[in-house]
């Protein structure tokens, strides 16, 4: 059984016959027994009747004429402005089409950006190598090359070394007892070399436990022996290329007097197997030979 | 044919290029829309402006109206939104402070003329009735807009709860509760008058 306050909350809907059957039956039952709520209902009926009795206000007689004038005078919407007020059935397909075009653009640009990112990450790796790259400045001698300069230097090499002789220096892996292996030098090294040393340490760690013999790379961690050999041959180092992934030196570009070649080759042969490409045409007429010493590490 | 069926025919005629069909729609609905706007705004000039604005909006959108609701419901919705915007404008708020409920603004059209049958009340009784209606209108005007909208649509225009929900965009429960609250408020204010 509902109390008066609950019933009075239902009287508005009761008056409009908007209650469901159960609520209507409860209200009917209550009203039969409650004169106060009946009075409240009568008061509400009078109110609604009174509101409905408010006289209506008619539009002026010239309403349509005024409307015609207003329609004629209203500012014409520009085509662009109208575009914003297209109905949803037009706008939604247009928006979907726009979204599809955007998605196409994004997915066609994304791979390019990713490759750009890869290039960027490559250059980050290269940075390590290039920080240790050298080029020869006639006035200042050998100095570390900044990245753009190194790129310029590298780009300049093929132009100036059309008659470059290819020299391949093949380092063979050797097998040595772990016990004889010395710890890496404490001397400061380039980030790339440090990384190599870390890799070596991690590779050596398990071997130290069982003291077994393991293959050790006698790879050139620096190109110092090669550069020394070039110096002995009175040559100049133009640049050193490092592998951007491993940080290992891959090739040395040098300019060597023709007379110094035999001693250079001799020194290089002491380091590993040496293969020399035939003389180039330009080399025959020149006192200076451009060399590209490729450093190969074979198992 | 029903009134809404005739409206639908006129709408289709307009959409096929018959501009006179719109005039017919205006003539059929102008008084109801005008009265509705007047109940919301309480000022004759503003009512005239808003009612015309509602019809201009209807004219501009009628070519894309798909008759998913009746024309009158659609037109009511436009008028209600136009009045809500008008009520929200600062100019209207300022003007409403000085509006006289007894003066609709166009005496020549006699908008407050009451349809009183011959032999009905004396001039004194008519004056009293007029005064009573003014008090009711004043009480309606004093309601917050969201309550005045729904109670006007229900008790002045006689629309169903469902139509009111469609016109105002409110859900049915909100419409019912707002009407109930508005009526309770009006009854308290008009106790002794009605």
Q: What is the CATH number of the domain that holds B6?
A: 1.10.1740.10
Chain A residues whose beta carbon lies within 8 Å of the beta carbon of residue B136: 50-51, 54
Residues 6 or more apart whose CB falls under 8 angstroms from that of A247 comprise A125, A128, A129, A190, A191, A192, A193, A195, A196
Give per-residue pLDDT as tens, A221-230.
567 888 888 8
Query: What pLDDT does B54 receive?
Result: 96
Rounded Cα–Cα distance for residues A4 and A30 (Å): 8
Q: Is A152 on the interface with B (CB under 8 A)?
A: no
B150 and B61 in a single domain? The answer is no
Nearest CB neighbour to A44, from listed B39, B132, B183: B183
Task: Give B2 to chain A, closest Cα distance, Å.
Answer: 23
Residue B160: what pLDDT?
Answer: 94
A133 vs B3, residue with greater confidence: B3
Give the predicted TM-score (pTM) of the model: 0.50
The band of A42, judged by pLDDT with boundaries at 50, 70 and 90, is: very high
Of the candidate ranges A104-113, B27-36, B132-141, the one whose mean pLDDT is the lowest: A104-113
Co-location of B54 and B123 in the same domain = no
Could you tell me if residue B103 is inside a domain?
Answer: no
- A79 and chain B in contact, CB less than 8 A: no
Tens of pLDDT, residues A175-191: 443 433 334 444 444 45
Mean pLDDT of A151-160: 41
Residues B83 and B125 in one domain: no
Q: Give the best residue of A50, A78, A89 to mutate against chain B (max B CB count within 10 A).
A: A50
How far off is chain B from A123, nearest CA to CA, in Å? 58
Q: Beta strand pairing status for A174-176 and A236-242?
A: unpaired
Same domain, B92 and B147: no
- At B75, the pLDDT band (50, 70, 90 cuts) reads very high
Among the partner-chain residues B26, B114, B156, the one whose CB lies closest to the CB of A51 is B156
Interval B11-32 mean pLDDT: 94
Confidence grade of residue A154 (pLDDT, cut at 50, 70, 90): very low
Verify that B90 and B2 share a domain, yes or no: yes
Is position B106 within any domain? Answer: no
- Chain B nearest-CA distance from A115, in A, is 49
Are B93 and B143 found together in one domain? no
Kindly list the residues from chain B whose CB atom is less than 8 angstroms away from the CB atom of residue A50: 132, 136, 190, 193-194
Within-domain flag for B105: no
Q: Do B14 and B66 sit in the same domain of this protein?
A: yes
Res A68: pLDDT = 94
Cα–Cα dist B126/B70, whole Å: 38
Name the packing angle between helices B161-168 and B71-88 (round to 10°).
50
Spell out which residues of chain A touch residue B137, defining contact as CB-CB under 8 Å. Answer: 54
- Determine the pLDDT at residue A285: 61
Range of the domain at B155: 117-194
CATH classification at residue B182: 1.10.10.10
For residue B90, the distance in angstroms to the closest alpha carbon of chain A comes to 23
**CB within 8 Å: A47 and B151:** no
Instruction: Dump pLDDT digits (tens) for B155-170.
Output: 999 999 999 999 999 9
- Pairs of CB atoms within 8 A across A/B: 100
Question: Does A48 touch chain B if contact means CB atoms closer than 8 Å?
Answer: yes
Are B134 and B92 contained in the same domain?
Answer: no
- The verdict on A74 touching B (C-beta cutoff 8 Å) is yes
Pairing of strands A236-242, A249-257: antiparallel
Nearest to B31 among A43, A49, A56 (CB): A56
The last residue of a domain, from among B97, B128, B163: B97
Which two tokens mark A125? 């790796």
Q: Does the pLDDT value for residue A24 go beyond 70?
A: yes
Judge whether B72 lies within some domain.
Answer: yes
Q: B86 in a domain, yes or no?
A: yes
| CA–CA min distance A71, chain B (Å) | 6
Q: Do B2 and B92 share a structural domain?
A: yes
What total number of domains does chain B contain? 2
Does the pLDDT of residue B177 top 90, yes or no? yes
Confidence of residue A193 (pLDDT cuts 50, 70, 90): very low
| pLDDT attached to residue A221 | 58
Per-residue pLDDT of B97-115, as tens digits, reads 544 334 444 434 444 444 4
Give the ipTM of the model, two decimals please.
0.78
> A158: closest CA among A25, A274, A251, A70?
A251
Q: Using the beta-carbon criterion (under 8 Å), do A70 and B109 form an inter-chain contact?
A: no
Lowest mean pLDDT among A63-77, A116-130, A155-169: A116-130
Give me the pLDDT at residue A218, please: 46
């Amino acid at each position: 059984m509902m109390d008066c306050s609950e019933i009075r909350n239902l009287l508005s809907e009761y008056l409009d016959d908007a209650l469901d059957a159960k609520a209507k039956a409860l209200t009917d039952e209550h009203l039969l027994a409650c004169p106060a709520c009946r009075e409240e209902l009568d008061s509400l009926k009078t109110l609604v009747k009174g509101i409905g009795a408010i006289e209506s206000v008619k539009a002026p007689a010239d309403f349509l004429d005024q409307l015609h004038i207003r329609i004629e005078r209203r500012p014409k919407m520009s085509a662009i402005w109208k575009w914003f007020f297209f109905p949803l059935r037009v706008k939604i397909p247009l928006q979907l089409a726009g979204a599809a075009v955007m998605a196409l653009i994004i997915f066609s640009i994304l791979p390019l950006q990713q490759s750009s990112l890869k290039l960027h990450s490559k250059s980050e790796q290269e940075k390590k190598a290039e920080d240790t790259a050298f080029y020869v400045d006639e006035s200042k001698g050998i100095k570390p090359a900044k990245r753009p300069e190194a790129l310029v230097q590298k780009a300049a090499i093929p132009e100036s070394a059309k008659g470059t002789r290819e020299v391949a220096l093949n380092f063979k892996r050797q097998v040595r007892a772990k016990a004889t292996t010395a710890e890496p030098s404490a001397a400061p090294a380039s980030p790339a070399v440090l990384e190599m040393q870390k890799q070596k340490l991690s590779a050596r760690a398990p071997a130290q436990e069982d003291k077994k013999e393991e293959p050790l790379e006698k790879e050139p961690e620096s190109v110092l022996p090669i550069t020394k050999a070039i110096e002995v041959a009175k040559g100049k180092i133009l640049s050193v290329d490092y592998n951007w992934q491993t940080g290992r030196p891959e090739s040395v570009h040098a300019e060597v007097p023709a007379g110094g070649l035999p001693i250079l080759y001799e020194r290089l042969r002491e380091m590993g197997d040496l293969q020399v490409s035939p003389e180039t045409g330009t080399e025959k007429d020149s006192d200076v030979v451009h060399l590209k010493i490729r450093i190969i590490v074979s198992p | 044919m029903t009134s809404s069926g005739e409206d639908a025919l006129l709408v289709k005629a307009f959409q096929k290029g018959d501009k006179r069909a719109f005039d017919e729609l205006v003539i059929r609905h102008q008084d109801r829309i005008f009265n509705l706007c007047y109940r919301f705004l309480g000022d004759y000039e503003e009512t005239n402006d808003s009612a015309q604005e509602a019809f201009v909006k209807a004219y501009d959108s009628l070519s894309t109206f798909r008759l998913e609701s009746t024309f009158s419901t659609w037109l009511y919705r436009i008028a209600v939104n136009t009045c809500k915007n008008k009520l929200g404008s600062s100019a209207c708020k300022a003007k409403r402070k000085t509006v006289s409920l007894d003066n609709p603004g166009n005496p020549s059209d006699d908008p407050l003329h009451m349809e009183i049958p011959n032999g009905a009340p004396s001039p004194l009784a008519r004056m009293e009735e007029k005064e009573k209606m003014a008090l009711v209108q004043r009480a309606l005007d004093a309601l917050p807009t969201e309550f005045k909208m729904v109670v006007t649509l229900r008790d002045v225009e006689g629309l169903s709860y469902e139509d009111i929900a469609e016109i105002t965009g409110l859900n049915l429960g909100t419409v019912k509760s707002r009407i109930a609250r508005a009526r309770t408020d009006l009854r308290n204010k008009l106790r002794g008058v009605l």
